[in-house]
């Protein structure tokens, strides 16, 4: 089994290839359901939707600044390369200067152990929840 993680783009992350890996995510738009946002954000940040079927609801976590992150897992794949949307960020911070960068620099497939060592700490639980659901499913067969 492999887990897809995305590495953020922009100047802050440019020299930190081993940090910041996580699930593609973003903000809910007004009136949007979390699952609708997940599909939209995946399309925006990866330039495509995963092949396969939506298989598991992995629940939510609360990240810093009280941001709630919803997560779903697909059984399937994506085509390479990914093609992220572009965003504007202030760089250097508090400079008033804006630069344009891809929101996601890259997305890679990792083994479970690799994903556990790469994913940002607060999202680690999503991997554990996925493994728990897969274990439950194999016990019921």
The pLDDT profile of the chain, 141 residues, written as one tens digit per residue, is 899 999 999 999 999 999 999 998 888 999 999 999 998 999 999 999 888 887 899 999 998 888 899 999 988 888 877 899 999 999 999 999 999 999 999 999 999 999 999 999 999 999 999 999 999 977 776
**Would you list the domain boundaries of the chain?**
2-139
**pLDDT at res. 141:** 67
DSSP letter string, the chain:
-EEEEEEE-STTTTT-TTS-BB----PPPTT--HHHHHHHHHHHHHSSPPEEEEEEEEEEEE-GGG-EEEEEEEEEE--SS--PPEEEEESSTTS--EEEEESEEEEEEEEHHHHHHHB-GGGHHHHHHHHHHHHHHHHT-
Question: What is the dotted CATH code of the domain comprising 2-139?
Answer: 3.90.79.10
């Amino acid at each position: 089994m492999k887990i897809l993680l995305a590495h953020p783009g922009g100047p802050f992350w440019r020299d930190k290839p081993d940090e910041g890996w996580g699930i593609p995510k973003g903000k809910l738009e007004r009136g949007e359901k979390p699952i609708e946002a997940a599909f939209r954000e995946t399309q925006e940040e990866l330039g495509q939707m995963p092949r396969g079927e939506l298989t598991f609801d992995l629940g939510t976590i609360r990240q810093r600044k009280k941001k709630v992150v919803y997560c779903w897992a697909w059984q399937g794949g994506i085509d390479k390369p990914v093609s992220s949307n572009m965003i504007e960020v202030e760089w250097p911070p508090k400079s008033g200067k804006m630069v344009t960068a891809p929101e996601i620099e890259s997305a890679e497939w990792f083994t479970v152990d690799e994903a556990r060592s790469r994913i940002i700490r607060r999202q680690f639980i999503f991997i554990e929840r996925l493994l728990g659901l897969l274990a439950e499913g194999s016990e019921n067969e």
